[in-house]
Amino acid sequence: MADPAPPFGFHRDALGRACLGGAPLSELLAASGLETPAYVYDLDAIQDATSRLVSALGPGNLVAYAVKANSAGSVVRAVAEAGAGADLVSGGELQVALACGITPERIVMSGVAKSDAELDRAISLGLCAIQVESVEELPRVSARAAALGAVGRVSLRINPGVEIDSHAHIATGHDEAKFGILEQDLPAALEILRREASLSLVGVSTHVGSMLREPEPYLESARVVCQVALHCRASGHPLEFVDFGGGFGIDYGGEPADAPEVFARAALGLLAEWGLADLRLVVEPGRALVGPYGVLLTRAIQTKRSGGRHTLMIDAGMNDLIRPALYAAKHRVEPCDALPGALPFRVVGPVCESSDDFGEHPLGDAPSGLFVVRDAGAYGFTMASEYNGRALPGEISVRAGRVVKAAPSPGVAAWVTRRLEA
Ligand code: LLP
Q: Give the pLDDT confidence of 111-120 residue by residue, as tens digits.
A: 999 999 999 9
pLDDT at 1: 46
Fold of 10-41+291-421: Lyase, Ornithine Decarboxylase; Chain A, domain 1 (2.40.37)
Q: Tell which one of 65, 128, 284 to mutate to probe ligand 1, the residue whose CB is within 8 A of the most ligand atoms.
A: 284
pLDDT at 49: 98
Give long-range contacts, CB 8 A cutoff, 24+ apart: 142-150: 142/192, 142/196, 142/198, 142/199, 143/198, 144/116, 144/119, 144/120, 145/198, 145/199, 146/198, 148/120, 148/123, 148/124, 150/123, 150/124, 150/126, 150/198
Q: Is the pLDDT of residue 3 over 60?
A: no
| pLDDT confidence band for 172 (50 / 70 / 90) | low
Q: Give the pLDDT confidence of 257-316 residue by residue, as tens digits.
A: 999 999 999 999 999 999 999 999 999 999 999 999 999 999 999 999 999 999 999 999
pLDDT at 340: 83
Query: Ligand 1 atom 3: the closest Cα is on which residue?
Result: 207
Average pLDDT over residues 26-35: 98
Catalytic residues: 352
What dihedral do alpha carbons 207, 213, 214, 216 form, nearest 10°? -50
Q: Tell which one of 114, 210, 289 to mutate to probe ligand 1, the residue whose CB is within 8 A of the most ligand atoms.
A: 210
CA of 50 to the centre of ligand 1 (A): 16
Q: What's the first-to-final CA gap in the chain, in angstroms?
A: 46
Q: Give the pLDDT confidence of 346-364 residue by residue, as tens digits.
A: 999 999 999 999 999 999 8
Q: Give dist(CA 267, CA 104) in Å, integer.
A: 24
pLDDT at 5: 55
Look over the chain and give the mean of its residue pLDDT values, rounded to a whole number.
95
Q: Are 254 and 203 in contact (CB under 8 A)?
A: no
Q: Give the pLDDT confidence of 53-69 residue by residue, as tens digits.
A: 999 999 999 999 999 99
Q: Give the pLDDT confidence of 177-200 residue by residue, as tens digits.
A: 789 999 999 999 999 999 999 999
Q: Is the pLDDT of residue 162 over 90?
A: no
Question: What are the pocket residues of ligand 1 if the criterion is a CB atom closer than 6 Å to any ligand atom?
Answer: 66, 69, 87, 110, 170, 207, 210, 245-248, 284-288, 323, 327, 379
CA of 246 to the centre of ligand 1 (A): 7
CA of 359 to the centre of ligand 1 (A): 23
Cα 311 off chain centre by: 31
Supply the CATH classification number for the domain 111-283.
3.20.20.10
Average pLDDT over residues 388-407: 98
- Ligand 1 atom having least distance to the Cα of 157: 3
Cβ neighbours around 33 below 10 Å, total = 11
Structural domain spans, the chain: 10-41+291-421, 111-283
- Ligand 1 atom having least distance to the Cα of 285: 13
